[in-house]
Amino acid sequence: MCRRELQELRRWLLQPCRLLTGQEACPTLIKVMQSSTTDRFRVGLVQMSCGVDPNENLEKAMWRIREAAARGAQIVCLQELFRSQYFCREESAELFALAESIPGPTTETLGRLARELGIVVIASLFERRAAGLYHNTAAVIGVDGEITGIYRKMHIPDDPLYFEKFYFTPGDLGFVNFDTSFARVGVLVCWDQWFPEAARLSSLSGANILFYPTAIGWHPAEKEQYGAGQLDAWRTIQRSHAIANGIYVAAVNRVGFEGPPDRGLEFWGSSFVADPFGKVIAEASGNSEEILVVECDPRKAEEVRRNWPFLRDRRVDAYSPILQRWLD
């Protein structure tokens, strides 16, 4: 919901006895109630390679956003940490200079673009929250150009060439949803995609779609033996989130090789959207830049959940042990 609509709704609610006098309902309230359940919406996924210059990456992303909007996208999601190459391949204190505040220069620039195009933008950024305190953060920017909200990545990996714990403090905002002018969205980031608990909690808050801005690829020493299986597992776990929760899932990955030949990463692209039945309805290539524009219909989630009523049959009274690290 944009600022103008919020102001209209606030004025309507503050007038006394509205609901008791039979006066006409607020058009914005009707729009919000209807759009949350029935209106189709179109998402755009921007899969691109990144160079060493953050400003050039930002310019490229802006042109890709324009292209996605021209093709009808209403909610455009960029890949994880799109302003730079994936710097977590190494541990270097100098790389903290890549971080910025939120709000900050990138959200202001993308905010102007979102307002111009009348779209929502989801941007994954290296957030400098305070001196010595940094997060891997996704900002949701509304059609009015303002920040609707942020999500701070909750699960932080520490694997060969994915040394994120050196840079990022785990998120402290929980698994949140964001109401936009087109849909209610849940946003999670990369490593979060391997945890069904995150997808479940975000879905239970009423999201129409889960977005996963991502930076994932092959370690050069592993691709030949494990590469195909790793890609298949990545695709499968996110399709399983769509099925288990009856929800659209959109994964947005980067593409291209970054780093030295022996210590770099080959990002496998393959961005995709799965419908609430887990069917992949659009998928990008594994080796080139691409934009996906996909229409999503909330009524599909209603249909799937009626026939596969997993949410109805959950035994919430029996799940408390899941809060333990391990059941000894």
What pLDDT digit, counting tens, does each position of 199-210 carry?
999 999 999 999
What's residue 256's pLDDT? Answer: 97
pLDDT at 115: 98
Cα separation, 53 vs 312, in Å, equals 49
CA 279 remoteness from chain centre: 19
pLDDT of amino acid 38: 74
Retrieve residue 136's tokens.
């891997």
Q: What is the structure's pLDDT at 237?
A: 98
CATH T-level fold of 39-311: Nitrilase/N-carbamoyl-D-aminoacid amidohydrolase (3.60.110)
Of 2, 127, 153, 266, which is the active-site residue? 153
Does residue 296 have an active-site annotation? Answer: no
Give the model's confidence band at 19: pLDDT under 50 very low, under 70 low, under 90 confident, else very high.
very low
**pLDDT, tens digit (0-9, with 9 covering 90-100), for 73-128:** 999 999 999 999 999 999 999 999 999 999 999 999 999 999 999 999 999 999 99
Report the C-alpha gap between 255 and 285 in whole angstroms.
9
List the catalytic residue out of 2, 77, 190, 296: 190
Domain regions of the chain by residue span: 39-311
Return the closest-CA partner of residue 161 out of 124, 216, 212: 216
Q: What is the 3-state secondary structure (H, E, C) of 51-85?
A: CCCHHHHHHHHHHHHHHHHHCCCCEEEECCCCCCC
Each residue's pLDDT tens digit, 256-297: 999 998 889 999 999 999 999 999 999 999 999 999 999 999
Phi, psi of 78 (to 5 degrees): -95, 165
Q: Return the ∠ at Cα 293 (arms to 299 and 157), rounded to 5°.
A: 90
What pLDDT score was predicted for residue 3?
55
User: Could you tell me the pTM of the whole model?
Assistant: 0.89
Q: Is 80 a catalytic residue?
A: yes
Q: Which of 24-33, 47-56, 241-250, 254-263 has the lowest mean pLDDT?
A: 24-33
Of the listed 2, 50, 60, 80, which one is catalytic? 80
Residue 25 pLDDT:
53
Q: Is 190 a catalytic residue?
A: yes
